[in-house]
Homo-oligomer: A and B are copies of this chain.
């Protein structure tokens, strides 16, 4: 159900990350929210236990009508109303009314996003760790090669490949620390109901939020309907990661110049016109991904300006910017890994 990989995605995409932003995973995550909400509310005595069971049953066998949901999405501007209506019709009364009880679309959509960001965060962290391991192994194997250091694109003084590899690794280590620090702010359930104040829950809003979050394996936080700093911070982090990898790509493209020849890349890109060429494609792609994510992170930050208790405009802007940011950062990690595996440092003769 993931969109087929296009030619461009084959170069610039990342299948695992892109799959998380597909329709099916989104719907499944929202269904997980609705089910957990009903169970949490039943456990708190807010809705009948039988309703929670009926809701869970209906969800477990629900097959979304994507054409219908698309149509509702286009009309409502958000997936919530269409999905809730379809589920309610399926559950029927008397239990249907307890679905999505005192919740709002944003609760389901945001929590559904976070449920998918959680494995994305773990995936990104393990890719960073793997890249750091690779850099460490390269340091052992090739660290002693002497390279010419360049400042302002001019020959400066010699450095070792170990120096270069360490300069590449240092920010990646910091990115792991940053990710660990921001994750508890990001990986939290969204609750708040129509206007963000969790009304209509009979004084049990906190208990429901805690039970919901526990069922979903997420953290608890005050309603963040209109405070998007957690999302934007994550997008900024993705740009930092892609930026550090873009620096590696830029270095490799420069070192791979024939006239410098300080790295060799196995399996460079072919040219349609010049058989003698071996293009440092991955290095260039890393630079392009860094620039694209830098720009996207700035656009995502425009979504901080949120009107009132919910901004359709600002929220929609997130949907246009966060997925391509995450996919581009993941693609950068993929390319960096492959590029570095193919890379050999070559000592400068003098």
By a beta-carbon cutoff of 8 Å, the part of chain A in contact with chain B is: 3-8, 10-12, 22-23, 26, 66, 69-81, 84, 100, 102-105, 108, 149-160, 163, 166-167, 170-171, 174-175, 178, 181, 185, 193-197, 199, 222-230, 232-233, 236, 239-240, 242-244, 246-247, 249-251, 253-254, 256-260, 267, 269-274, 277-282, 284-285, 287-299, 301-314, 316-317, 319-321, 324, 328
Contacts and interface: CB of A to CB of B under 8 A. Distances in A.
Given A247-B226, A269-B78, A308-B254, A279 B181 contact: no
A288 B313 contact: yes
Most buried by B among A11, A151, A256: A151
B195 A156 contact: yes
A105 B271 contact: yes
A309 B149 contact: yes
Contact of A157 (B170, B194, B257, B270): B194
A81 B269 contact: yes
B103 A304 contact: no
A72 B267 CA distance: 12
A240 B155 contact: no
A103 B282 CA distance: 23
A229 B244 contact: yes
Given A7-B26, A12-B316, 11 more contacts: A80-B272, A100-B273, A152-B280, A152-B284, A154-B258, A243-B301, A250-B306, A284-B313, A291-B303, A298-B301, A320-B324
B240 A304 contact: yes
Given A8-B319, A316-B284, A229 B243 contact: yes
Contact of A154 (B7, B236, B278): B278
Contacts of A75: 267, 269-270, 281
Q: How many copies does the complex hold?
A: 4
A244 B303 CA distance: 10
Given A251-B308, A260-B257, A297 B195 contact: no
B246 A305 contact: yes
A193 B301 contact: no
B313 A76 contact: no
Contacts of A108: 272
In this complex, the member of A6, A166, A175, A313 whose beta carbon has the largest number of chain B beta carbons within 10 angstroms is A313
B312 A152 contact: yes
A174 B167 contact: no
B159 A272 contact: no
Sorted from nearest, which 3 A-B pairs have the closest CB atoms? A298-B298, A243-B304, A295-B299
A243 B305 contact: yes
Nearest to A3: B3
16 contacts: A72-B270, A84-B272, A152-B281, A153-B311, A155-B258, A156-B194, A159-B195, A160-B197, A163-B196, A194-B271, A228-B243, A229-B243, A239-B298, A247-B305, A290-B304, A297-B298
Given A3-B3, A292-B299, A316-B285, A194 B104 contact: no
Contact of A7 (B70, B163, B298): B70
Nearest to A233: B240
Contacts of A10: 70-71, 73-74
A274 B313 contact: no
Given A171-B229, A290-B304, A291-B317, A281 B77 contact: yes
